[in-house]
Amino acid sequence: MKEIIVTPKYNGKKLNTFLLDTFSGLSMNLLYKTLRKKDIRVNDIKVSENVVIHTGDNIKVFLSDEQLLGTITSLEIIYEDENIIAVNKPAGIEVVGNDSSLTNIVNNFLKQRLSSELNSNFKNIEAKPCHRLDRNTTGIVLFAKNDASLNILLDKFKNREIEKHYYANVYGIPKVKHEDLTAYLFKDAKKSLVYISDVPKKGYEKIKTSYDVISVDKKANTSILDVTLHTGKTHQIRAHLAHIGFPIIGDGKYGNNEINKKFKAKVQKLTSYSIEFKFTTSAGHLDYLKGVKISL
């Protein structure tokens, strides 16, 4: 059972609006089923209809935490303070876009924790991702806990004042141990593919990717690369490395299926392992993050 108090924002609104906004795991179908069973009380009076509520009303909902907030998978927090939270994303999960997204998992976790701390009377929290990773790319995803922080961090990513590093396990061994790559990328949204060109073309955007060779396995003909993303375009690392002849092992879209089968890799071996705040201009209330490096 959860007990909550109606805030002024919902004064004169319908009960369903308040409950659906408050509990991320609650569906419309479950809500009306709960009403029919009279398992919702407004000021200790059982209700079976979608009534109008008012500021200060006491709402009791007789459902489990799992039903109200959704099932929360294991969440590995890498860093957290009052403005941001960085978590380790596993493969097979979208950052945004569906009920089981990483964004929903993070928000459900924050709400449940705050609910416990405040004896079930909790505020609405909406952490928002500052960048994204592909569904099967693992590693650090940074979330802002408030809009002011989000706007600053989005600007810092855009102006390249936040540096992201990735480990990529690729097929092949580069002769050059360090290289700064420049190319041009075109995104075909309909096919969910990007294309790389070495020369400028209409509709193509300039991209920059750097890599350092960390280790090699001559017998397997593979390498581990430390990749720095200077421009954050869709599938940039995966497509750019494949373009220069070093596809990421396990990448079914830009890699080689025969190589993937050889290594029994079903998802791309690409991990975002580090985010460093390299602010060169003011970051307002986030200035304390300057020089901070978040790593797995």
Q: Which pTM was predicted?
A: 0.72
Q: Which residue, chain included where needed, has tokens 């060779």?
A: 213
Structure tokens at 109: 């976790």
Assigned fold of 2-69: 3.10.290
Predicted local confidence at residue 119, as pLDDT: 46
Residue 52 clears pLDDT 70, i.e. is over it: yes
Q: Please, what is the average pLDDT of the chain?
A: 89
Ranges of each domain in the chain: 2-69, 77-155, 162-275
- What tens digit of pLDDT does each residue of 90-133 get? 888 889 987 778 998 898 888 877 766 654 444 567 899 999 99
CATH architecture for residues 77-155: 2-Layer Sandwich (3.30)
Predicted local confidence at residue 92, as pLDDT: 83
Do 77-155 and 162-275 agree at the fold level? yes
CA of 286: how far to CAs of 151, 164, 295, in Å?
A: 11, 18, 18
State the helix-helix crossing angle for 15-22 and 28-36, rounded to 10 degrees: 130
Structure tokens at 291: 């020089």
Burial of residue 105 (number of CB atoms within 10 Å: 0-12, 13-18, 19+): buried
Predicted local confidence at residue 154, as pLDDT: 97
Collapsing DSSP states into helix, strand and coil, what is residue 287? helix
Average pLDDT over every residue of 12-19: 89
Is the pLDDT higher at 202 or at 3? 202
Phi-psi sector, 23: left (phi>0), alpha (psi -120 to 50), beta: beta
- C-alpha to C-alpha distance for 169 and 138, rounded to whole angstroms: 13
- C-alpha to C-alpha distance for 35 and 22, rounded to whole angstroms: 16
- What tens digit of pLDDT does each residue of 221-257 get? 999 999 999 998 999 999 999 999 999 999 999 999 9
Assigned fold of 162-275: Pseudouridine synthase (3.30.2350)
